[in-house]
């Protein structure tokens, strides 16, 4: 059975009359990567702050590593690493000095962790360069290294790829995946970059207006956003037979009304048409269908479809 | 709390404000002592005394003390390093470490003036106080230096330094509320001058005098040449309790406060 790392129950945070987070109940399991998706002001950062003990809930509870409380205990918070909004850096220090400072702060005895993490995020060669002279991407990468310094069991990353170049984005993706797969780290990651999150996360939490609108796994999201060919013919049975013979691996599905959906072949309309015609099956409809990631997201949060 | 202190001390050693303030305090104390000798020797006229006052402990510590509260307490909220501090050791430890650290740093600002008094007295020169602070009066009193005298001056220095820190420790809860170093510094600087005035005014109000006596703002807590050992211990006790009280107030403010 999977181990629950974090569970919130009816978690609510009010700022005056405004509910930044409203009755949010989520559960995060060990070793999975949760993509937190939502528009600006949807409550993503507030949720992360509540989990990290930076904000105090108005009501509800947070169960962290099995300890249920109104807000997380200090001993449990020490098992978390965070990068929320912007990294906490001392501009007048080097990357190594920042690492050393945070290692002291976290009480990590092994100094080798500093160099190892700097190598991991590609900053080992920055030498005596002060952090104030770093690019935005370098700062983000150092922020991720700092979040990892105490070898956290739960890693919270708020927009970690902000300011990163494409190569940096890919590196962060690989890093996050390896942390989850090799170390069993649970990662909660927010991003505006939906395609990027789609390639990184194993599970998704879609929030809007401070409320959790939907939770789904990568497989469920893929199913929701899969592109397919929709084919119809006067003789549905002949159509299905022809498609199954030509594409036995395609998992063709018959829909109500007799149309057939052919996944994995959304961009092969011409080839499918030739196949059907050669089998003497004349399609009455042949169209590429399916929702894009953005369209699906908008449909969940109640915005206009793309 | 130990981890927070170790990290803060490491940061202090590699960033500007605290070391600069300490260096300025050392330079100001040295210069102030030399200029007080110049006043006594007649190298500087009495009209120069107001200019010399600028270098006195009363002004320098009132100026740099709030700056240190801003840099050590409010700055982590701006740099967001408070995030990791809270994850590492919690809010109580954070407030505790900041209380100890700021108290030590602000106290250290006064110590160069005490050392300057010792050095000045060792030269057996004459000194004229530009402003009647405890350190200036010790220096102006003259007299040789023996073991007893050195001990007496060190005790007065310690009591005076902790008393000044206690008066400025109001900046501690202020920093937890405002979280902006410059605002803390500005308000703290004004407070440094108003505190004694408010204290002495309140002490004149019947019924309030006993209460004021329990705070570092009572005039009779200021150590001087005629202070007994009991007076100095009383000053230290009142000051340390008041600093601890400000730490407690800070924790009450911060324990359920949101952090941006």
Q: How many A×B Cβ pairs under 8 Å?
A: 84
Write out the residue range of the structural domain in which residue A59 sits: 4-217
Length in residues, chain B:
260
Residue ranges in chain B whose pLDDT is less than 70: none
Domain contains B259: no
Q: pLDDT-based confidence at A305, cuts 50/70/90?
A: very low
CA distance A225 to A259: 19
Residue A163 pLDDT exceeds 80:
no
Length in residues, chain A:
306
pTM of the model: 0.83
Residue A70 pLDDT exceeds 70:
no
- In order, the DSSP letters of B84-146 are HHHHHHHHHHHHHHHHHHHHHHHHHHHHHHHHHHHHHHHTT-----SS--HHHHHHHH-----
Average pLDDT over residues A221-247: 87
B136 to chain A, minimum CA–CA distance in Å? 38
Give the pLDDT of residue A267. Answer: 81
Nearest CA in chain A to B89: A74
Beta pairing class for A154-158 and A186-190 = parallel
Looking at the 3D structure of chain B, how many domains does it have?
1
Domain contains B260: no
Domain contains A304: no
β-pair partners for A33: A187
Domain contains A301: no
Q: Mutation test of the interface with chain B: which of A52, A54, A73, A149, choosing the one with the most B Cβ atoms within 10 A?
A: A54
Segment A180-215, tens digit of pLDDT: 998 899 999 998 778 888 888 999 999 999 999 989
Please indicate whether, in this complex, the C-beta atoms of A88 and B84 are within 8 angstroms of each other. Answer: yes
Please indicate whether, in this complex, the C-beta atoms of B84 and A106 are within 8 angstroms of each other. Answer: yes
Segment A212-229, tens digit of pLDDT: 998 999 888 888 887 888
Give the pLDDT of residue B168. Answer: 93
Query: Is A147 in the same domain as A251?
Result: no
Whole-complex ipTM: 0.82
Looking at the 3D structure of chain A, how many domains does it have?
2
Query: Is A110 in the same domain as A249?
Result: no
Please indicate whether, in this complex, the C-beta atoms of A82 and B87 are within 8 angstroms of each other. Answer: yes
Q: Which of B4, B14, B81 sits opposite A92 (nearest CB)?
A: B14
Q: Which of A54, A87, A102 sits opposite B86 (nearest CB)?
A: A54
B256 to chain A, minimum CA–CA distance in Å? 6
Query: Is A166 in the same domain as A137?
Result: yes
Write out the residue range of the structural domain in which residue B249 sits: 2-254
Residues of B in contact with A89 (CB under 8 A): 79, 81
Domain contains B14: yes
């Amino acid at each position: 059975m999977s181990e629950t790392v974090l569970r919130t129950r009816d978690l609510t945070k009010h700022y005056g009359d405004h509910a930044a987070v409203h009755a949010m109940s989520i559960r995060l399991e060990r070793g999975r990567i949760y993509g937190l998706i939502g528009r600006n002001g949807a409550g993503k950062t507030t949720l992360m702050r509540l989990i990290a003990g930076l904000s105090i809930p108005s009501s509800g509870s947070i169960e962290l590593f099995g300890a249920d409380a109104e807000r997380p205990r200090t001993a449990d918070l020490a098992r978390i690493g965070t990068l929320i909004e912007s990294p906490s850096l001392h501009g007048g220090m080097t990357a190594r000095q920042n690492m050393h400072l945070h290692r002291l702060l976290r009480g990590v005895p092994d100094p080798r962790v500093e160099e190892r993490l700097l190598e991991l995020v590609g900053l080992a060669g920055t030498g005596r360069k002060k952090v104030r002279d770093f690019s935005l991407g370098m700062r983000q990468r150092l922020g991720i290294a700092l979040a990892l310094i105490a070898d956290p069991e739960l890693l919270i990353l708020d927009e970690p790829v902000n300011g990163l170049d494409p190569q940096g984005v890919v590196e962060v993706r690989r890093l996050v995946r390896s942390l989850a797969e090799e170390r069993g780290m649970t990662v909660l990651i927010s991003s505006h970059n939906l395609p990027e999150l789609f390639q990184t996360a194993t599970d998704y939490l879609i929030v809007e207006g401070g409320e959790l609108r939907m939770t789904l796994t990568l497989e469920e999201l893929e199913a929701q956003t899969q592109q397919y060919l929709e084919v119809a013919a006067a003789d549905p049975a002949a159509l299905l037979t022809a498609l199954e013979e030509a594409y036995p691996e395609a998992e063709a599905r018959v829909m109500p009304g007799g149309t057939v959906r052919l996944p994995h072949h959304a961009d092969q309309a011409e080839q499918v048409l030739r196949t059907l015609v050669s089998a003497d099956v004349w399609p009455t409809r042949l169209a590429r269908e399916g929702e894009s990631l953005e369209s699906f997201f908008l449909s969940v949060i109640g915005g206009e479809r793309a | 709390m130990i981890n927070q202190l170790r990290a803060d001390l490491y940061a202090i050693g590699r960033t500007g404000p605290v070391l600069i303030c300490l260096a300025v305090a050392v330079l100001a104390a040295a210069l102030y002592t030399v200029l007080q000798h110049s006043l006594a020797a007649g190298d500087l006229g009495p009209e120069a005394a107001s200019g010399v006052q600028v270098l006195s402990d009363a002004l320098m510590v009132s100026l740099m003390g709030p700056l240190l509260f801003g840099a050590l307490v409010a700055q982590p909220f701006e740099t967001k390093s408070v995030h990791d501090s809270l994850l590492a050791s919690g809010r109580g430890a954070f407030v505790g470490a900041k209380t100890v650290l700021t108290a030590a740093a602000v106290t250290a600002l006064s110590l160069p003036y005490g050392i300057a008094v010792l050095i000045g007295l060792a030269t057996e020169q004459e000194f004229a106080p530009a402003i009647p602070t405890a350190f200036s009066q010790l220096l102006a009193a003259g007299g040789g230096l023996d073991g007893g005298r050195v001990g007496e001056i060190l005790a007065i220095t310690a009591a005076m330094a902790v008393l000044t820190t206690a008066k400025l420790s109001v900046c501690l809860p202020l920093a937890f509320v405002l979280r902006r170093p410059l605002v803390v510094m500005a308000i703290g600087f004004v407070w440094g001058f108003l505190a004694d005035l408010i204290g002495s005014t309140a002490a004149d109000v019947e019924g309030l005098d006993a209460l004021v006596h329990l705070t570092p703002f009572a005039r009779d807590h200021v150590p001087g040449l005629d202070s007994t050992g009991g007076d100095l211990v009383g000053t230290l006790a009142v000051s340390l309790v008041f600093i601890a009280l400000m730490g407690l107030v800070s924790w009450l403010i911060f324990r359920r406060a949101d952090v941006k």
